[in-house]
Each structure stands twice: as C-alpha cells, then as structure tokens.
Amino acid sequence: MQDPSKPRWKIIYIIFICLYSTLIPLKIAAISTQDWYKQEGFQEWKGSLFKVYSASEGDYKEDSYAELANYWCETSEINKKTKDNYAGCEMFTNLSGGGISFAVFSAVEIVFIGSFIAFTLSVIYCDKNFLCLRVLFSIFLTLCGILGFIVMAGTSMIRFNDDCDTDDDNSSQSSTCALVGPQLDLFNLVYVITISFVFWVFICATKCEKRILDERINGQSNIESNYRSQDRAQMQEIPMNVMSLPLNGDSRDQNSGAPDIIYE
C-alpha cells in the first residue's frame, strides 16, 4: 500500500468511510419503516417487517407474524381434513422467518461496517495497514447484505409488483407484495455492492502501483550497485608501479639534460 500519510490516500480513505457510513442509517431506515408487505383482494392487510399494522379482517389483527402463524397453523391443524387456513399458516410462518433472518443479517452487516470504518481510521491516523482485515470486512458486509436480502425475499416469497390479489382466504396461491422496506433494501444492496467493488478495484490498483514502484526502485538500486562494482574493479586493475611514480616536477628535474647554472 501507499504511505497512508500522503494526503491523496487520506482523502480517498475518508471518502470510503463516508460511503460505508451512509449504509448504517439506510439499513436502519429499511428495518424500521412501517411499510414492508401488503396483500389485497379478499384479504387486505399491510404490515411491517415483523407484524401486521392494518387489516380489513378480524383474524389479521395487529399481532406479530409469529403470533398470526401460530393462530393460523392451529386452525389449520384443527381443520386438516379440508386443509382450511393452511395458506395463512404458511404465509405468516414464512414472513416471520424472513423478518428474523433479515434482522440478523442486517445486525451482522452493521457490525462489519463499523469494524471496517474503525480499521480504516487507523490507517489514516495511526499509520497502520490492516489491509487484509479491511478487505475481509468489506467482503463480509457485502455478503451479509446479499444473503439478508435473498433469504428475506426467498423465505417471504414476496413479489415486487402489484399482483397481490387473493381469490379466497384458503388459496394456496396467496401472494404478498413488497412495499417501501424491501425496495429500500434492494437499493441498499446495489449500493453496497457498488461501493465494495470500487474499493476492491482501488486496493488492486494501489497494490499494482506499489509493485511497479518497487520494481523501479530495485532496478535503480541494481544499476547503481553495478556502477559501484565496476568502479572498484577498475581501481583494482591500476598497476602498482604507476602509483609509485615520482611527482611530475621531480621527474623533470631528474631526467632533463639541461646544464646546471652557476652563479658567480
């Protein structure tokens, strides 16, 4: 990785922290919103992630999906010969399981988001790396978002259209439509995948850049080392008698044939 003290890397990390931080209020907003499911036709009701809050039928009172599932399943067991009320038992059981699964995955995702933010802040202010942990946290929180949505949508068997009508209260084809909650979480899913993908590309790019920079530095060091080795080799090849020659001035005095001048 590049030196985290460099301003441009600090700015990029701060941007990722801000982007991942926005996932927490978005996830909380998706869980806490009242409008999650609806069903229309002979049975009309609307519900949140965990309970029905509005219904036209007395049986669909404002209870949790788990309580409604127990009621409909007990009724279905009593009338098991005619299979009455089995659709309600199955539907509310699925909604209850889907809501609990989604809440668990969302909580774990928020924990991984907080961990990613904490370790990224350590890169900025403490000159720590934690590269593997940050990448793992980004992978885990993305997987939690994906699995949470898939399990919720698959278990609840919801539809993202307006085909929510039921012909009768015993129909096994009863369908539940998604409202604001699942749609908001679908946006969160696309959002987290996009952010994590950009983060992974950024990490790969910086690793490649660092590798290229290290190769250049090592290549320059090898060139300088070769130059120094060649200089030492050339110095060792100089004959020792050259080093013992007299100075130029003494050489001219001894070897010149000019007569001595005598002053009277």
Mean pLDDT of 28-51: 84
pLDDT value at 258 more than 80: no
In a domain, 252, yes or no: no
**Structural domain count, the chain:** 1
CA 59, distance to chain mean position in Å, is 44
pLDDT value at 109 more than 90: yes
- Measured CA to CA, the distance from residue 182 to residue 160 in angstroms comes to 9
Confidence of residue 237 (pLDDT cuts 50, 70, 90): low
Confidence of residue 133 (pLDDT cuts 50, 70, 90): confident
What pLDDT was estimated at residue 219?
Answer: 54
Alpha carbon of 194 to those of 28, 142, 175: distances in Å? 19, 10, 31
Mean pLDDT of 203-232: 62
In a domain, 183, yes or no: yes
The pTM for the full model equals 0.70
In a domain, 69, yes or no: yes
Q: Which of 21-25, 87-91, 138-142, 167-171 has the lowest mean pLDDT?
A: 167-171
- Here the CATH number for the domain that contains residue 62 is 1.20.140.150
In a domain, 59, yes or no: yes
Most confident range, picked from 2-6, 115-119, 152-156, 174-178: 115-119
Do residues 89 and 59 touch, judged by C-beta distance below 8 A? no
Q: Which two tokens stand for residue 178?
A: 């998604």
Confidence of residue 231 (pLDDT cuts 50, 70, 90): low
In a domain, 65, yes or no: yes
Q: State pLDDT tens for residues 41-91.
A: 657 788 889 888 887 765 666 788 888 888 878 766 655 544 545 677 788
- The secondary structure of residue 64, as a DSSP letter, is B
In a domain, 224, yes or no: no
Most confident range, picked from 34-43, 48-57, 167-176, 181-190: 181-190
pLDDT value at 220 more than 60: no
pLDDT value at 170 more than 50: no
In a domain, 48, yes or no: yes
Alpha carbon of 41 to those of 55, 59, 204, 229, 256: distances in Å? 12, 15, 53, 90, 128
Q: State pLDDT tens for residues 188-214.
A: 999 999 999 999 888 887 776 566 655
Which structural domain range is residue 185 located in?
7-201
Instruction: Compute the residue count for the chain.
Output: 264
In a domain, 190, yes or no: yes
